Structure 1
Amino acid sequence: MAMVTSNGTTLLKAVKPFKTGWKVEIKVLHSWTQHSSYGGVDTLEFILADVTGDKIHCTCKRIFTPRAKKHMLGGQWCFIENFGLTPATGKYRATSHKYKLSIIGSSLVTSSSLKIDGSFLSLTPYKSIINGSLDSNFLIDVIGQAIDIGDLQVVQFLGKERKKLELTLTDTNDHHIACCLWGRFAEQVLNAYHVGEDNTIVCLVTNAFEAFSVIINPTGSDVNEFLRQLPKNELALTTGNVESC
């Protein structure tokens, strides 16, 4: 695919920091407010994807948030023209893109009529998690069938009572990874397990720094393919239930 599309926008894989005059067409996958721990200014953060599924982390200072909030809505497509790019470094990086996009004073954000409903998941193979080959600086997304669901426990954490639930996620190749959910995520999964027709659930765990979410029995092409490959795919799917921090 060409790096410049038919509508004059550039794909995310091609943007570089030698100029600010790029124009991209993106979908907002996640958004959250990042609070400063040192008395600084809070920022609005986004995970964005283009039509190819490439993703980039976007940050917007409070002074520029009105222009971002108007068109950069979750699940919606928009155009961003004129923006800064800086190297993406450090831990807990939400995408593998080399750069982080910044909304600046000259940035122009407008709505797009593009309608692509995909969630652009980048699901991590269980084998990569188990063998330790992943770069620990990056957050990952996983999908799995929940098995070996334990009892809801109440434990002391940082001087407060917290609810937690331990379970196992399994993939289509019968690889297993241990999972521990806290708070409302724990309650949500346990409730779905008890009320389900066959006590079988699928969990999609997505991570975007402070925008962690657990989706129970999600929908979409990626999920349908996962279900098709399960040894036992007689799962009672309902409308996806989402909880986000």
Structure 2
Amino acid sequence: MVIGDYAVLSSSSLVDDRIFLSLANYGEVENGTKKQNFLIDVIGRIHELGAVQTVQVSGEDRKRVQFRLVDAEGNNLAFCLWGTYAEQLEPFSDAGRDQIIICLIRFAKIKEFRGEMQITNAFDASRLYLNAIIPEVTDLTQRLSNGNLSVAMIDKPTGKKDGKRVTYNWNDAEIKTISEVVEANQVMMLDQISSDECPAPITKRKEDDSGLHDLTSTSKKQCTKLIKQEKTKTD
């Protein structure tokens, strides 16, 4: 669009409070589909929030905070924010570790750090929102509040941790009575004994034991076999 010399500009009565987010997919960021240094919008719940630290960077003290963001499906991404962005998380880092913090970062940068994709602020161009009152945050909060979902950190073969959200649908659970459970446990115990030692049947063991008792008992006379000896001739 080109504005000519005789163009007339005037204010519009149209007002739109939307911030027109273009939220990135966690999987695309993790597998490298999204290019590094590409600015993205990303939203999630803060997980494993570390303490705000002061570190030396090029001879200057800078504040830094590291954490992970988890989406509604249980996927997670590593984050590292610097400077004033880290300072905004300082109150939560000190006293609010147990509360739900929905973080939205606009114009964030993707970079690789120690073999893992990481999100960080793009100097002062990024915008950080914590528990903002916007539809996207409200929707994510409701989805994360589902009681049947839980986050578990799983070790990957590379040694990294991956968060997966496991769904438990209790309506599909099989219902058994207490007597059925007890009976099932007694089947399992018998199978375990038979597989570990493979003992002889009880009746067989009784027969064997009775024979042993006959040989060792002092109340019964043991049968002896007479052996006929031949006389040896003497000169």
TM-score normalised by the chain length of structure 2: 0.50
- Residue equivalent to 2:134: 220
Q: Alignment partner of 2:99: what SS?
A: coil
Q: How many residues align structurally?
A: 133
- Once residues 36 and 28 of structure 2 are traced to their aligned partners in structure 1, the CA distance between those partners, rounded to angstroms, is 11
Match of 1:202 among 102, 119, 131: 102
Distance 1:107 1:168 in 2: 49
State the match for 1:189 in structure 2.
89
More strand by share: 1
- The structure that has the greater radius of gyration is 2
Q: Is the 8 A contact 1:128 1:134 kept in 2?
A: yes
Change (3 A) 1:109 1:227: farther
The amino acid across from 1:225 in the alignment is: D
Contact 1:193 1:200 (8 Å CA) reproduced: no
The residue number in structure 1 matching 2:55 is 155
1:162-199 deviation digits (Å, cap 9, x = unpaired): 11011111100111111011122112113135454952
CA distance in 2 between partners of 1:204 and 1:146 (Å)? 10
CA contact (8 A) 2:52 2:93 kept: no
1:170 is the counterpart of 2:170 = no
User: Pairwise CA RMSD of aligned residues?
Assistant: 2.6
Alpha-carbon deviation of 1:225?
1.7
Match of 2:26 in 1: 126
Report the alpha carbon displacement of residue 135 of structure 1 after superposing the two structures with TM.
3.2
Q: Distance in 2 between matches of 1:179 and 1:197?
A: 16
> Gapped runs of 5+ residues in structure 1?
1-18, 21-81, 84-104, 234-245
Is the 1:193–1:201 Cα contact (8 Å) retained in structure 2?
Answer: no
Is the helix fraction higher in 1 or 2? Answer: 2
In structure 2, how many angstroms separate the alpha carbons of the residues matched to 1:107 and 1:138?
Answer: 35
CA deviation string 1:57-112 (max 9, x = no partner)? xxxxxxxxxxxxxxxxxxxxxxxxx27xxxxxxxxxxxxxxxxxxxxx66654321
Q: Percent identity?
A: 35
Task: State how far apart, in whole Å, the 1-side matches of 2:96 and 2:22 are.
Answer: 27
